[in-house]
Amino acid sequence: MSQQSEFVERVVRLAEVHAEAHWELDWSRVEASLGHALPFDYKRLCEELPPGKFCDFFWILHPVGSKGASMLGRSSELIEAVEEFIEDEDECPGESGRIFPCFVTDNGDVGYWIADTDNPDDWTVAINEGRGPEWEPTELSLSAFLYQLLTGGYVSGLFPESLRSREPRFSSNF
């Protein structure tokens, strides 16, 4: 089992989703709509978990999600917003056209994949402060970041301290 698969399994166990998925995802269609490939661990997370949020705070952008947390509904808007920062900020860890959103928080923070290689499975996550220029590169895949965040192994300076004391609860809006 690859490390990414291992982290996906750990996140799914933490989420405690016991229902079978009742959606099918056509990844070639999703990727064509977005205009770029997606990492394996993200696809697995979306196949195993319904749209929803962790700790009443953190939403993975899901292809099946509602507009606020939908990969297809928010991607172009979030890419457009970050492109402005790339032009104006030296802090952004990604290059124009090579940074793609993968999660949002209730505080307006956005997680982006830094696509610094052509292999999406090598992309790492960086967090952009909600309504601000600060960036926090993680050097972690999405599934590793999510697992470590939920279990206290990763602490973000951009997220509220109260997140650290929350149980790694998952609630679905699907």
For strand 99-105 and strand 110-114, is the pairing parallel, antiparallel, or unpaired?
A: antiparallel
Please say whether the beta carbons of 114 and 123 come within 8 A.
yes
pLDDT in tens, the chain (174 residues): 578 789 999 999 999 887 666 778 889 988 888 888 999 999 999 999 988 889 999 988 888 766 555 555 555 565 566 565 555 556 777 777 788 889 999 998 999 999 999 999 999 999 999 878 889 999 999 999 999 999 999 999 999 988 888 888 898 866
Supply the pLDDT for residue 153: 93
Q: How far is CA 70 from the centre of its chain?
A: 11
Determine the Cα–Cα distance for residues 5 and 97; give it in Å rounded to an integer: 27
- In 3D space, the residue among 141, 168, 147, 113 whose CA is nearest the CA of residue 4 turns out to be 141
Helical (H) or strand (E) element with 43 = helix 40-48
Supply the pLDDT for residue 77: 60
Supply the pLDDT for residue 69: 57
Supply the pLDDT for residue 127: 95
